């Protein structure tokens, strides 16, 4: 069982958001040797920036933090990636907090002090929940949303860095509008970018994959699945 847990952890990236530096260091030390990547942040704002930059598989977050708390950060992240996986931990284990966690999108809830073995088991359960269900974008193109893989004629294909970030932002929000502001925030990490530059990337994705991405006037873009 332990070997299974360690094997599952080695395939996932994790972001830890915690304002207590001692707790943050302990969690990082306990997970880093076993996980593919471990990122850290001291508050919700830093956590949001790290999410936009690194797109972790699982986010571990405290609730009570300065600047931006865990719930506020989660709500912002879920606007970009509705299926993001979270584990929330807090010292205040009340029914109200648990309910708020579930409504905010938390996958699992853990009370402090953190039991590392329980945390590792939770992470394993999240990693094995990834489904192999494919979503068809066209006759040739299908995607695995959980594993973030693109297939063309059954073979995996790859995009450039910016193309990949934009593609998955649109895929997370399939059949829904993704605004220019959201594209700038997530893909370009709030750097100034022209609409024509975004359009050029969209055109390259459409040309390479042969999929439908609609431009909705001056609002943004929408990727559509095959009906």
47-84: pLDDT as tens digits: 999 999 999 999 999 988 988 989 899 989 998 998 89
pLDDT of residue 18 exceeding 90, the answer is yes
Strand partners, 89: 62, 110
pLDDT tens per residue, range 91-149: 776 656 666 666 666 778 888 888 888 898 888 887 765 556 789 999 999 999 888 89
Band (pLDDT 50/70/90 cuts) for residue 3 is low
pTM of the model: 0.83
Written as six digits, the tokens of 142 are 């299908």
Model pLDDT, residue 6 = 64
pLDDT of residue 31 exceeding 60, the answer is yes
CATH number assigned to the domain with residue range 135-223, chosen from the 4 options 3.90.226.10, 1.10.3720.10, 1.10.1740.10, 1.10.10.10: 1.10.10.10
Which is more confident, 211 or 120? 211
pLDDT of residue 5 exceeding 70, the answer is no
Domain limits, the chain? 2-128, 135-223
Strand order of the β-sheet with 13-17 is 37-41, 13-17, 58-62, 85-90, 108-111
CATH superfamily, domain 2-128, is Response regulator (3.40.50.2300)
């Amino acid at each position: 069982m332990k070997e299974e847990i360690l094997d599952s952890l080695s395939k996932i990236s994790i972001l830890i958001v915690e304002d207590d530096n001692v707790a943050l260091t302990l969690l990082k030390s306990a997970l880093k040797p076993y996980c593919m990547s471990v990122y850290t942040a001291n508050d919700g704002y830093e956590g949001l920036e790290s999410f936009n930059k690194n797109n972790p598989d699982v986010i571990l977050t405290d609730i009570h933090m300065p600047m931006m708390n865990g719930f506020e950060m989660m709500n912002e992240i879920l606007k970009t990636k509705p299926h993001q996986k979270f584990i929330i931990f807090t010292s205040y284990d009340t029914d109200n907090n648990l309910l708020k966690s579930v409504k905010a999108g938390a996958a699992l809830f853990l009370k402090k002090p953190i039991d590392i073995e329980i945390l590792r088991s939770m992470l394993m359960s999240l990693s094995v929940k990834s489904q192999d269900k494919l979503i068809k974008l066209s006759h040739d193109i299908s995607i695995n949303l959980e594993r973030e893989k693109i297939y063309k004629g059954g073979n995996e294909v790859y995009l450039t860095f910016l193309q990949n970030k934009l593609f998955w932002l649109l895929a997370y929000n399939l059949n829904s509008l993704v605004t220019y502001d959201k594209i700038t925030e997530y893909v370009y990490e709030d750097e100034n970018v022209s609409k024509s530059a975004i359009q050029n990337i969209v055109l390259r994705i459409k040309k390479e994959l042969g999929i439908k991405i609609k431009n909705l006037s001056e609002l943004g873009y929408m990727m559509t699945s095959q009906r």
